[in-house]
Each structure stands twice: as C-alpha cells, then as structure tokens.
Structure 1
Amino acid sequence: MRDFIGRAVMALYFTVCATLKAGTMIVALRDPNWSWARGISVAADFAALGFLVLIVGTTVARLPPVKTAQGIEPRISALIGCFATVTLIAIPRVQTLPQLELVADLITIIGFTLCIWCLWWLGRSFSITAQARRLVTAGPYQFVRHPLYACEAILLLGIVLRNPIWATVAVAAIVLAFQYRRMVNEEKVLRTAFPEYSAYGQMTPMLIPSISSLSWWR
C-alpha cells in the first residue's frame, strides 16, 4: 500500500510537470518570430517533456521493491536530491550572451536525451527513494553504475549556464551533494538485495566511464 501511494503521488506530480511543460511548448510554437536559437530552445523543451512523460510511465509500471533503505536519511536525501531542482524555477533569470544561451540549450538537449536513454533501460526499476527492484547492468549501465545521475549532472550544467548566478550555482551544488548520498544509499540496498552487485561494482565505474567499461565487447 505504501508503494502504491508513493507511486500515485509521483505519477501525479510528474504528470502536472509534463502538462505545464506541454503548455509552455504550445505557447512557444504559436510565436511567429522564429530563429535558430528559438528552435533549439523549443527542442530542449521537447526533450524535457519526453523525459517527464517517460518518468510517469516507468513510475506507473514499476516493479514492487525487493529491498528498501531503512531510516530517515535515505528518504530525505532522495527527496532533496530529486526535487531541489524545482526551486530553480523561482530564481530570477538574468540576461546572458546569446552564444552562452545557445550552448546551454545544446547541453540541456544532450542531458535530457541521455537521461531518456538511461531511464528507458532502467525501466520498471526506476524509483526516487533508495530501493532495489531489479538489477540492471545492460545499456548505459554497462559503462557506469549510475548513468542517470551522471546525465542529470550534464543537464544541471546546462541549467546553470542558462542562468549563471550564485543562487543557481548554490542550488546545483546542493542537488549534487544529495544526489551523491542517493547513490551511496542505493548501492547499499543493491549490494544487500543482489549478491552479484559486488562483482558488477568492481568491474564498472561509479560515474565516469573507464576505457575498459567503454568496450562494447566486454
């Protein structure tokens, strides 16, 4: 019952986010003043919408947890690490160079695209809190143990470059700190739930791919 309630709340939250993002895209598409920069910005919004829709789908269809982290710290770290980026919406935007905005949008597109790739492979094992559902070691997970977090860091870089002020940097630092705690907590749960995770962890880097992990024939 607890997992069902958590799943319903998450699905509702991300559905609302996806709806708002879709509304923003509709407004942007109706604007007759188009440019390359504006087109790339809309593409970034489209990638964000795809990521949100996929989150809703994987949340609704996710498997029941085999093991869940105990205590309050894993839950707090998961909630802050996941939802602290929402506060970036409230930070006033500053005017930046068009070239920097273009680079930021391109990085954002890359970040969201990679996140979609990782989430697609994670599939029904996706969760916000530290839980073990099914061990995934294929796709991007053959290169690093936490590819989704690595790709979210790329996405966060794009957001910071889009609004490069101290408040944005501070929130980004908080997010990264708690995301690291999420990784640590998740690894504890996975090692307990799946004995084979230890061998996988020894062969696969945490965040940055190694030469050996990048080999497709490994």
Structure 2
Amino acid sequence: MVFVWSIYAAWLVLIVYLTVSAFGVKRDTEEHIAQRLGLMFAMILAFLLPRVPMFRFVNFAPVNAVLSSIGVIVAVTGMAFLVWARQTLGSNWSQIVSAKHGHELVTSGPYRYVRHPMYTGGLVACIGSAIVVGGGFVFLLILLGVIFLWRVGAEDRLLARQFPDEFPDYARRTKALVPFVW
C-alpha cells in the first residue's frame, strides 16, 4: 500500500508545483476555454471509469513489491522529466495550446531531445502510475495519450506559424515525443 500512496503523493506534489509555477507566466494571446474544460473533463472521467462495473478489471493494485517499485521509479522519472521541461520553458509555459505574448521558441534542456517533453514525461509518469495503482491511471494514460497526440500536432502547427524561420529546422532534427523514434 505504501507504493500506491507514494504515487498519489508524487502526483499531488506535481500538481501543486505546476499550479504554483503557473503564476507569472506570459499571458496567452487568446482564451481557449474548451481546451481547459476538455483536459479537466478527461482527468475526472479517468477516475470515474474504473467505478463502472464493466471497467473494474483495471482495479488491479496493489501488485507485488518488485513491480510496484519499478512503477514508482518510472512514474517519478517521468515526473522529473516533466518538471525539467516545465522549468526550461519558464514563462513560455501554457496549460493550453496557445501563442503567448512575447513567445519564444525553446530548444534547450529536454527540448534538445524531444519537442514535447512535458507530454513525454506525463505519459511516462502515467505508465508508472498505472503499473502501481491501475484504476484511474490506466484510463488517464489512455485519455491523456489521445489528448497529447492531438496537442502535439496542434502545437507543432502553432509553432510553425509563430516561428516560420526556426521551427522547421528544429522539427526536422528533433523527434516529437520519443527520442530517436517519433
């Protein structure tokens, strides 16, 4: 049970960090309330679905200590990568796909390896969490996976418009989510 609580504690710390670090970011050039609501709805749905009788099979935690340890390490590694990416973005970060006032193309830190390291880190954290806890994290992985795949395309199009001289070369030399693969 300590592994399960470790996962929830790590996510709580991550959410608090992301919330606090959102203060002082550059303002979005326009509001996208549908994106904000869609992300919130997906997270709520992910934790409601395991309560539906036909989906109870995903409630498999706790598993053995070795697999749980691996899951915690994977989850924390994903979260650390996400935090590194968030720190590197600085005031250019946005919860939604949106241009910022004074937007800059960030290509350093984890952005040297993938164009969307926060999504990579988030998905890795969900995989580790699903190994340990199952339930909502299984559905969170699926739902966020779909949302993140959409956002990769949307952000790439936005960055191509915002940075027509720099982004195409950056996109050619840097994979989207998985280093050296995609």
Which residue matches 2:81?
A: 114
Amino acid of the structure 1 residue aligned with 2:156 = E
For 1:140 and 1:80, locate their aligned partners in 2 and report how far apart those are by CA, in whole Å. 27
Give 1 or 2 for the bigger CA radius of gyration: 1
Change (3 A) 1:122 1:50: farther
Closer/same/farther in 2, CA of residues 85 and 162 from structure 1, 3 Å limit:
farther
Write the mapping of 1:16-95 to structure 2, written as runs, cut at 5 A.
38=2, 44=7, 47-66=10-29, 75-76=34-35, 79-81=37-39, 84-90=42-48, 91=50, 93-94=59-60, 95=62
Measured after TM superposition, the shift of residue 62 of structure 1 is 0.8
Query: One-letter code of the match for 1:116?
Result: V
Partner letter of residue 142 of structure 2?
Answer: A
Residues in 1 aligned to 2:158 and 2:167: alpha-carbon distance in whole angstroms = 10
Contact 2:7 2:75 in 1 (8 A): yes
Measure the CA separation in 2 of the matches of 1:160 and 1:46.
Answer: 14
- Per-residue CA deviation, residues 57-113 of structure 1 (Å, 9 max, x unaligned), is 3321111235x598x9xx44x643565234444436444223322222222211211
User: 1:125 matched to which residue of 2?
Assistant: 92
Q: Could you tell me how far apart the structure 2 residues matched to 1:186 and 1:193 are?
A: 10
Distance 1:113-1:201 versus aligned 2 partners, 3 A rule: same
Equivalences, count: 168
C-alpha separation between the residues in 1 aligned to 2:95 and 2:131? 26
Q: What is the TM-score when the length of structure 1 is the normalising length?
A: 0.64
Give, in whole Å, the separation in 2 of the partners of 1:102 and 1:137: 33
How many angstroms apart in 2 are the aligned matches of 1:100 and 1:86?
26
TM-score of the two chains, using structure 2 as the length reference: 0.75
The answer to whether the Cα contact below 8 Å between 1:54 and 1:119 also exists between their aligned partners in 2 is: no
Gaps of 5+ in 2: 52-58
Secondary structure of the 2:23 match is helix
Query: Do the aligned residues in 1 keep the contact of 2:47 with 2:140 (CA within 8 Å)?
Result: no
Distance 1:85 1:96 in 2: 23
Name structure 1 gaps, 5 residues minimum.
Answer: 1-36, 212-218
RMSD, aligned α-carbons: 3.0
Counterpart of 1:154 in 2: which secondary structure?
Answer: helix
Counterpart in the other structure of 1:169: 138
Say if 1:63 and 1:145 are closer, same or farther in 2 by CA, change over 3 A: same
Task: Give the aligned residue type for 1:80.
Answer: G
Q: How far, CA to CA, are the matches of 1:187 and 1:159 in structure 2?
A: 28
**Structure with larger RCO (C-alpha < 8 A, sep 6+):** 2
1:107–1:129: structure 2 CA closer, same or farther, 3 Å change rule?
same
Out of 143, 163, 184, the residue aligned to residue 153 of structure 2 is 184
- Classify the secondary structure of the residue corresponding to 2:168: helix
SS, match of residue 127 in structure 1: coil
Q: Could you tell me the percent identity over the aligned residues?
A: 22
